[in-house]
Amino acid sequence: MELDLKEIIKICKKIDVLYVEDNDDLRITTAALFGNFFNTVETSIDGQDALEKYKNKTYDLIISDINMPKMNGIDLAKTVLDINPDQELIFVSAHNELDIFLEIIKINYVNVLLKPINIETIKNVFYRTSKSIAMKKNQIMVQNIMAQTNRVENLEGLRKNFIEI
């Protein structure tokens, strides 16, 4: 199936991203590329920096390098998933090592971009991830509407009881 880049960007433009990469040049250029897809792209220099930002702000998606100083991407993901089990993550790695991929599988993530990143891989991974995020956002919106509807019905019932007194 050929994915339409315009359609992917349309969905992605509603997504706020935290991009974690310790290589300064790569972080700057890749964040600029990602900025063409997403609503906002904030950056962090390592997992520890990303975790501090994450504790203060909600991101729809975290895109993280795996091998970094202070806190690697897998430890960041484990910590973030303890905070929010529904957090969407994409790992970026220059390494094609079995032990790294086994760690990723253990935390139930299969979205991996291998460096160097190419546009077809970006399209596939961003499409899958953005669809998942959109479905979760829609589910939350429906739950909020249902909660509001229940509150209105409860208030209406209270009003009827109040009038009857």
CATH of the domain at 31: 3.40.50.2300
Higher pLDDT, 153 or 49: 49
| Residue 82 neighbours by CB under 8 Å, 6+ apart | none
Which residue is listed with tokens 């975790």? Answer: 51
Question: Where does residue 36 rank: exposed (0-12), middle (13-18), buried (19+ CB within 10 A)?
Answer: exposed
Q: What is the pLDDT of residue 106?
A: 66
Within-domain flag for 90: yes
Within-domain flag for 106: yes
Question: Could you read off the pLDDT of 27-60 as tens digits, one per residue?
Answer: 999 999 999 999 999 999 999 999 999 999 999 9
Confidence of residue 136 (pLDDT cuts 50, 70, 90): confident
Within-domain flag for 161: no
| Sheet strands (E) in the chain | 16-20, 40-44, 61-65, 88-93, 112-114
Within-domain flag for 160: no
Confidence of residue 80 (pLDDT cuts 50, 70, 90): very high
Within-domain flag for 163: no
Do residues 103 and 96 touch, judged by C-beta distance below 8 A? no
Confidence of residue 154 (pLDDT cuts 50, 70, 90): low
What's the average model confidence in pLDDT over 83-96?
A: 85
What's the average model confidence in pLDDT over 101-117?
A: 70
**H or E segment at 25?**
helix 24-35
9: containing domain:
5-134
Confidence of residue 162 (pLDDT cuts 50, 70, 90): very low
Of 159, 134, 129, 155, nearest to 3 by C-alpha is 129
Within-domain flag for 141: no
Q: What is the pLDDT of residue 59?
A: 97
Do residues 93 and 64 touch, judged by C-beta distance below 8 A? no
Share of the chain above pLDDT 70, in %: 79
Higher pLDDT, 157 or 140: 140
Within-domain flag for 36: yes
- Our count of domains for the chain comes to 1
Reading the block at residue 98, the tokens are 């079995």
* Dist CA 113 CA 50 (whole Å): 19
Within-domain flag for 148: no
Q: What is the pLDDT of residue 20?
A: 97
